[in-house]
A and B are shown apart, each in its own frame.
Chain A
Amino acid sequence: MDNQEKFWAAIRVLKSDVKCTINGDIETEEDFNNIIWQTGTEANGETAIVTTTCPHSEITWAAVKVEMDKL
């Protein structure tokens, strides 16, 4: 299981239906802070409204790392 597979498995454990995009491996807190989280959709109906601040209280770098380290 590679890094991103571990990340997605960890995310599914912490919360279902989380919407985000990752460009590259998630190995450090800095990587985690570069994740693009979708919080909504623009009026054009296509483009996501995004933030790099995780909007889910259940999902923190520490919690994700714990779950990833189990895999």
Chain B
Amino acid sequence: MAFATIDVTKGITGTIPVANGGTGLASGTTGQFLKFTGSTTVASSALGDVGKLLQVEYFFTHSDISTSATSDTATIVTDQITPSATDSKIIVQVGGGRGSNAGGAAEGDIKLYRQIGGGGYSELQVAMLDNVNHATNGGYGKPTSAFIYVDTSHNTTSAIDYKIYIKTNANTYYFNSGGAQMAMMLMEVAA
């Protein structure tokens, strides 16, 4: 005997399991999605803000920035962000610029420093090493490279300042020159 249609409201009790093409669920939660919680089980799940870009801060300058200091000194390349959660990821991106030197060859150390809640800056990461090996004054080297750092250790919802510090191994190192743009971008991503 062939059936043209099956009325699922009749003759079936309980829920249809995943293994038989169902969900195994009697009900779900408004606004949520279905997610496998096992190979044959499905549950209602909130997608939440995971991976969502929450905020962006941006700074740029066209000023020349140079140093003859042989220990880390602060530049004007800095920006501030206040995370909305302690476990958010803060992506720090620094890029652009034009490296150069004066007085002889120079290698610049470029470091990312961090300050939480105005508590003072400390080194977070060596960002870039920019070697401008020109023996003459003002010999322009390669452009300062892009740098990305993902901060997962801030553990705060207080304001965080990120700042670039520079030093040279000898002579004068230019972190930026010739009116090039040097930029810093901070992005908070939900954990």
Contacts and interface: CB of A to CB of B under 8 A. Distances in A.
Contacts, number: 86
A45 to B, nearest CB: 8
A12 B65 CA distance: 18
Contacts of B111: 46
Nearest to B174: A4
B183 interface: no
Given A21-B75, A21-B166, A47-B123, A38 B103 contact: no
B174 A36 contact: no
Contact of B66 (A4, A41, A44): A4
Contact of A8 (B69, B73, B75, B103): B103
A7 to B, nearest CB: 8
A36 B72 CA distance: 11
Given A1-B138, A8-B172, A23-B76, A48 B71 contact: yes
B155 interface: no
A50 interface: yes
B47 to A, nearest CB: 43
Contacts of A8: 66, 68, 102-103, 137, 172
B162 interface: no
A34 B49 CA distance: 43
B71 A24 contact: no
Interface of A: 1-5, 8-9, 11-12, 18-25, 36, 38, 40-42, 44, 46-50
The 6 closest A-B pairs by CB, nearest first: A48-B71, A21-B67, A24-B63, A21-B73, A38-B69, A23-B76
Interface of B: 63-76, 102-103, 111, 121, 123, 137-138, 165-167, 172, 174, 177-178
